[in-house]
Amino acid sequence: MADIHGALFDMDGLLLDTERVGQDAFVDVMTPRGVAEAEARAAFLNFVGGNHASSAARLRDLLPNHDALEAQAAWISAFEVRIAEGVPLKRGVFETVSSLHAAGMPMVVVTSSHRVHAEHNLGATGLLDFFSAIVPGDEVTHSKPDPEPYVTGAGLLGLSPSDCAAFEDSDAGVTAAMAAGCRAVQVPDLRPPGKPFPALGQGHATTLREAVMSLGLLAV
């Protein structure tokens, strides 16, 4: 599509199949604190797309008799132990991102994860060098669903958000992208059963490649 000159990508749940790893780590930490596995797996779905502050607030509600910050630190540690075994990619992501890079599309990752984790995980999958920059959650004043991360990402490419496509899995992420003025496509990953998608005018796709193709950025 001629009016799209840059592409902005969420990371966890879109490029990397890490939300399921995070869910398993969440169960590891919640069950010793009295939360049944089924309840923990269901509760985790409400954390998808959140940042460190929103996750801490949700943990305080879920664990009123425990130290939420201590539980959050334990969850991060459990996730890091699991991810050390290998960082999983979503289906078709490497081929899609490498094809966009070969076609000359400037690309930035816009993630709620901290820079150290984003650089490590993208590097471990071989994706890091395809991206011009990363906008991490620890380097913005306002996290998703605020538009700041996507405005920042477009700016790093020297573009207006309206010149960029944004690809997201979470509701918070697509809200941020649309509020920034990007052309956004939502590719859902883990979400509560039956939860409606926000009606923001975003496109929808089942895979990242389908999302990219829907905007005419790659041929079949």
CA-based nearest residue to 203, from 189, 191, 186: 186
Active site residues per annotation = 10
Residue 120 has pLDDT above 70, yes or no: yes
In CATH, which of 3.40.30.10, 3.90.79.10, 3.20.20.140, 3.40.50.1000 is domain 6-17+89-214? 3.40.50.1000
Mean pLDDT of the chain: 95
Torsions phi, psi of 136, nearest 5?
-90, 160
Tens of pLDDT, residue by residue over 181-202, are 999 999 999 988 899 999 999 9
Torsions phi, psi of 13, nearest 5?
90, -10
**Residue 1: which pLDDT band, with cuts at 50, 70 and 90?**
very low
Cβ neighbors of 174 (< 8 A, separation 6 or more) are 166, 168, 184, 186, 198, 200, 202
The Cα 154–Cα 146 span in angstroms is 14
Question: What pLDDT was estimated at residue 103?
Answer: 95
Tokens at residue 9, please?
């990508």
Tens of pLDDT, residue by residue over 35-92, are 999 999 999 998 888 888 888 999 999 999 999 999 999 999 999 999 998 999 999 9
pTM of the full structure? 0.92
- What is the residue extent of each domain of the chain? 6-17+89-214, 19-83
**125-149 average pLDDT score:** 97
Contacts 24+ apart (CB under 8 A), 153-161: 153/8, 153/108, 153/109, 153/110, 154/6, 154/8, 154/108, 154/180, 154/182, 156/108, 156/132, 157/5, 157/6, 157/106, 157/108, 157/132, 157/133, 159/5, 159/6, 159/106
The answer to whether residues 188 and 195 touch, using CB atoms and an 8 Å cutoff, is no
The answer to whether residues 9 and 93 touch, using CB atoms and an 8 Å cutoff, is no
Distance of CA 4 to the CA centre of its chain: 21
The Cα 43–Cα 47 span in angstroms is 7
**85-103 average pLDDT score:** 96
The answer to whether residues 139 and 115 touch, using CB atoms and an 8 Å cutoff, is yes
